[in-house]
Amino acid sequence: MFQRSFAIMLVSNASKWIHMSEPIRIDRWVDDNILRVDREPGKSAKPADEFQQQLVRDGVHFMVSLLGEARGIAAAGPGWLGEVLRNGFYPDHMTFRKLPYLPERADLKMLKAKNPDWTFREDFDPRRWVFVFLHGYIDNTGADRIAFKLASLGYQVYLVRYPFLRNVRRTAGELSEILQQISRRERGKRLVPIGHSLGGFVWDHLLLHRPDIAEQYNMPLYIPLGSPHFGTLAAFLGVGQSAKQMQPTSDVVLEHLNRKFPKDLEIYPFVSRFDLLVLPIETALLKRGVNYLLSETGHIGQVVKNEVVQSIEEIIATPPELLKQRAERRKFYLSSLANLLRRLPAKTRKRLGVDGVLNYVGANDTTTEFDVRIVHHELRLGLIPPLRR
């Protein structure tokens, strides 16, 4: 009954959404159309009511994102299978390849002439910036959907393929050697690290333990996509050393909690409100930088959707101070799972290792705030347009 009512309201309001000039706030929409919140000005809801409302919000995210995740898997499936047929399921060692490069589509003068409404970074030049992609766990495609899309827009993209079950420390060490090889090929260019899921976790380990890497390879910024920076409960179901090290109780996660990223490195984490493999979702948040919040995108969806590509292009082309202005400084309301976890007995939380994440996001602190860019609905309304070519 609830699903039918939601579908009816979705259709009836579709025409209104198309003409809206302001970004859609799915939380506010759920309050107004499903929960029917009628609250006196200045009066907060009771904790029990807020928790109930949040469960409904997350239920809406679940239904919409689950459908999107299925579409994402269907879209990524052919490429994944093709890579298996070409190169096998599990590589013996770390390898890399550069995608076909279209320099004529990356001419900065042409981009500025065709996009007079854009404000560009002073140092931005697509011909001098190089993406280095790391794929996720049980994935051998190198996040190729969005990587190939970026390459088709004229960006230089390297895909790094690695044994995803292996020790994260060893993988990060080999990654530093790969960076040397790519840097020699692309002399004088700026390297932009991007990692999906475990790939971001590997990048985290390298950048947190070797902060000099950012300066050595002239890295302006870092984009982790759905990466469990401080461990994920889903890793308890995984196999291999990498899965063990992504568990919230691992020594690698504890190291990450106690280290800091390079001071001058800009960081733009992508966080899905619904992500079955990053649990709780708060583990993908970072206090530094701007967190790009995707309300209707699951874990696989982050490497197949055009909205993600447009967001990445906004990040690399736009001055950081302008990105900061576009973000909202606000308290990140906890997911239903995080709320349930913090209600568990202390011994159980310790066994699961979730206290580190809950403390990091300020589960019991109303003053902890994050810079959040809600992009998914805004992109559909055209508020983050792609660069015209």
At which residue do the structure tokens 């950048």 appear?
A: 207
CB atoms inside a 10 Å sphere around CB 80: 19
Nearest-Å Rg of the Cα atoms of the chain is 21
Number of C-beta neighbours around residue 207 at 10 A: 23
Q: Is the pLDDT of residue 115 over 70?
A: yes
More confident residue, 6 or 81: 81
Helix axes 47-87, 2-12, angle to 10 degrees: 80
d(CA 324, CA 310): 17
d(CA 355, CA 358): 5
State the pTM of this model: 0.85
- As a whole number, the mean pLDDT across the chain is 84
**What is the mean predicted confidence (pLDDT) over 88-94?**
86
Between 364 and 268, the more confident residue is: 268
Cα gap 357→361, rounded to integer Å: 6
pLDDT digits (tens, 9 = 90+) for 38-51: 444 445 555 556 66
Residue 372 tokens, joined: 């959040």
